[in-house]
Structure 1
Amino acid sequence: MRPISVQVRGLFSREEMDRYNNLWEVGKFCESQGRFDLARIVQHEVELLAQPAVEKLRTYENRADSPTTVGAPVIIDNRPRQAAVEPPQE
């Protein structure tokens, strides 16, 4: 079975994602049983399910009128914080 890209899966509705996951499980089972003829049919169904999302992704990528947006970088600092040292009291 060939997986669908994350970008395409991100455009799925909840129902489409559930259907994709179910088809994926069936296809992997067919492959594990050596039934590659059935896995090919399931793969074709997966491709049909993904086709509208692929077309939508193509229109997003080919928009010439929209400027390229670059988000601000996100800095993640996972270092443990050190407690502030207080001066000794007299």
Structure 2
Amino acid sequence: MRPMSVQVRGLFTREEMERYNDLWEVGRYLESQGRFDLAQKIQKEIEIVAAPAVEKLMKYENRPNQSAVAAPVIIDNRPKKD
């Protein structure tokens, strides 16, 4: 499974974040069971969930004629589930 970057996850809505986390858990379980064919389908679903946040991030990073303002820093302090 390929995780989404912290910048992308920081732009998720609450519902998108919950769906991402649920899909991630399912995908990791499938990989641990050797079901890489199904994990690949879950990865595609994750990419669909992340698409709106990726578009928002791309719009932010590609703004022309902007002053030299630093990009926002998104910090994810949630405990990691291992």
TM-score, structure 1 normalization: 0.75
Root-mean-square deviation (Å): 0.8
Higher helix content, 1 or 2:
2
Structure 1 segment 1-90 matched on structure 2, within 5 A: 1-70=1-70
- Equivalent residue of 2:67, what SS? coil
Q: How many residues align?
A: 70
SS in 1 for 2:64: coil
Name the larger-Rg structure: 1
Which structure 2 residue ranges, 5 or more long, are not aligned? 71-82
Higher relative contact order (CA 8 A, sep 6+): 2
Deviation of the 1:34 alpha carbon: 0.2
The normalised TM-score by structure 2 is 0.82
Uncovered stretches (5+) of structure 1, i.e. residues with no partner: 71-90
Q: Identity of aligned pairs, percent?
A: 66
Q: Which portions of structure 1, spanning 4 or more consecutive aligned residues, are displaced by more than 4 angstroms?
A: none
